[in-house]
Structure 1
Amino acid sequence: MTSPPLPSPEIFQHVRIIMGMVVGLSVTRLLNGLVRIIQHPGQTRIYPVHIGWVLTLLLMLVHFWWWEFWLVALPAWTFETYLFLIIYAIILFFLSAFLFPDSISDYTGYEDFFISRRKWFFSFFALTVIFDLIDTLIKGSAHYAMFSAEYWFRVPVYLVFCGIAIVSTNRRFHMTFVSFGLIYEISWILRHFETLR
């Protein structure tokens, strides 16, 4: 005997709670890392690029939580959609863990740590770009149409930048990338997500 289907908004609330747990762990990881730096400023040398990605990822997590509210209008839910969203949230958690591991005692500071682990970080960052694209398509053609051609330019540019960041240790490039990423993320949110439509 099968149970009657639940209304989409009720399923969404269930999924949103689980996603919120994972996103909450990510935000907690980043905030704890920042507080640790403030509490012990002389303990580990900070690196502006590392701090820039911490701020960018914090903004991405807040954006992700806001962005996913559009799923309330999804007409039908499948386990695959649910699993996809949970994996997406887990990838964001991994990014947070890559920025603030349990210990960096094996490194001379955050610069040495970040450059040494950049392949992992930017591989997972590239995954978020791909997952963001799929997530946008799940929400329907009317949803992604509101972003115009800019969205289809944004995705390959980020993927190319991630590819360069994986292979390059050039500090100027990394500073340029994180500066661009943070400014663009702020601009994107202000232009597209001030209100839910």
Structure 2
Amino acid sequence: MDSFSHIRVIISMILGFGVAQLLKNLVKLIDHPKKSKSVYWLHLGWVFYIFILIVLFWWWEYRLEAIQHWNFLSYLFLIIYTTLYYVLCVLIFPDNVNEYKNYKDYFFSRKNWFFLFQIFLFVIDFGDSLLKGKAYFQSLHWTYPVRNILHIALCFLGIKSSNEKIQAGLFFILLVFDVLFIAQNYLY
């Protein structure tokens, strides 16, 4: 097995654990609605958003096969980067929210961590894109750095604000921007 195959397996396992976390807890809401805390639409929106980010990341990582020379730091970098996605999945949809009134209460109590890990994710994403080579980085057009910088800035706003309307606006802006980004770059 070559270096790329090894890292692909590790990335797929970590991302698979994250997707399983999201799906497992979503199914719990459906399977045991009376045992579940009351559902909060914005929380479920962020669950969907993180799922989309994971799918997009998974798609991007297939470009890693273009990397000819791997070293330990590249492996470590990608494993840490991928682990951030798993952490986001657990933060947005933990196995147990019994100590909270409902998912709204849970979301607002953990929003700072949720947005902070997204900031880490989008800062580190620049390094991931550069790891794939200068030509790849340049092929992403102007929308790529704008996307990441917009995400980082809006996540800082998400940390600062506990206003539900601002939080909903952040969700819709980021979701629409990412859907447009995917359509521009990957639906051809």
**What's the offset of the Cα at 1:28?**
0.1
Give the structure 2 partner of residue 142 of structure 1. 135
1:21 correspondence with 2:13:
yes
Alpha-carbon distance in 1 for matches of 2:166, 2:4: 40
Q: Is the 8 A contact 1:44 1:110 kept in 2?
A: yes
Q: Is the 8 A contact 2:97 2:106 kept in 1?
A: yes
- The letter for the 2-side match of 1:141 is K
1:41 correspondence with 2:36:
no
Q: Deviations over 1:161-194 (max 9, x none)?
A: 1111112101011111111222222221222123
Alpha-carbon distance in 2 for matches of 1:102, 1:151: 34
Structure 2 residue aligned with 1:59, among 52, 55, 58?
A: 52
Q: After superposition, where does 1:1-197 map in structure 2 within 5 Å?
A: 10-42=2-34, 43-194=36-187
Greater RCO, 1 or 2 (C-alpha within 8 Å, sep 6+): 1
**What's the offset of the Cα at 1:64?**
1.1
Structure 2 alignment gaps of length 5 or more: none
**What's the Cα RMSD here?**
1.4
Higher Cα radius of gyration: 1
- Normalising by structure 1, what TM-score? 0.90
Structure 1 alignment gaps of length 5 or more: 1-8
Q: Is the 8 A contact 1:61 1:92 kept in 2?
A: yes
Give the structure 2 partner of residue 5 of structure 1. none
Alpha-carbon distance in 2 for matches of 1:183, 1:47: 20
Q: Is the 8 A contact 1:55 1:182 kept in 2?
A: no
Identical pairs, percent? 34
- The letter for the 1-side match of 2:122 is V
- The letter for the 1-side match of 2:98 is S
- The letter for the 1-side match of 2:131 is I
- Normalising by structure 2, what TM-score? 0.94
Alpha-carbon distance in 2 for matches of 1:180, 1:34: 23
Alpha-carbon distance in 2 for matches of 1:193, 1:145: 15
Q: Is the 8 A contact 1:44 1:109 kept in 2?
A: yes
Q: Deviations over 1:128-172 (max 9, x none)?
A: 101111111111121121222222222222111111111210101
Instruction: Give the aligned length.
Output: 187
Please identify runs of 4+ aligned residues in structure 1 that moved more than 4 A: none
